[in-house]
């Protein structure tokens, strides 16, 4: 049964990785730069709004279901070790799960939580915002590269399943 679902799961995970890579690429390439150009209070308010708005079924569904699919693909790779696709499945699943999903939970989300209570005129925002923009964006570059690499690896696995 798993063998018949493996191609579908691999394709779905590769597409999910690619979609998430695109979202994160947008933030790395222009969204964070645009927010950094705003006056600090406005940049903070805009990012706070983004951080609230991103918690929606569509984004979270793709983000979390892709992580779950990658975890299953890691397990499938271990169970089918020696097959032509195993290395690609293991690498692709692990790169997304660690480099995108866990990096989000360990680095980006805590930074978002620190930013959340800061008001436009809060003096803590004046010192935190520049640190936030640089740190959050750096970790977002990692997430972007990991999601893109995972999409490529899973795409390479697909024809060999």
Average pLDDT over every residue of 109-131: 96
77-89 pLDDT per residue, tens: 999 999 999 999 9
Q: How far is CA 33 from the centre of its chain?
A: 18
Alpha-carbon dihedral of residues 75, 77, 79, 81, nearest 10 degrees? -150
Q: Mean pLDDT across the chain, nearest whole number? A: 97
User: Which residue, 65, 121, 127, 66, is CA-closest to 95?
Assistant: 66
């Amino acid at each position: 049964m798993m063998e018949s679902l493996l191609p579908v799961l691999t394709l779905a995970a590769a597409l999910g990785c690619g979609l998430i890579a695109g979202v994160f690429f947008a933030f790395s390439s222009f969204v964070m730069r645009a927010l950094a150009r705003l006056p600090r209070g406005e940049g903070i308010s805009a990012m706070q709004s983004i951080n609230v708005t991103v918690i929606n079924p569509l984004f979270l569904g793709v983000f979390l279901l892709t992580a779950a699919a990658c975890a299953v693909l890691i397990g499938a790779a271990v169970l089918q070790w020696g097959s032509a696709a195993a290395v690609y499945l293991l690498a692709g699943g692990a790169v997304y799960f660690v480099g995108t999903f866990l990096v989000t939970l360990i680095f980006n989300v805590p930074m978002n939580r620190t930013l959340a209570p800061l008001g436009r005129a809060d003096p803590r925002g004046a010192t935190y915002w520049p640190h936030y923009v640089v740190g959050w964006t750096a970790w977002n570059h990692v997430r972007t590269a990991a999601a893109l690499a995972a999409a490529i690896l899973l795409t390479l696995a697909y024809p060999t399943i």
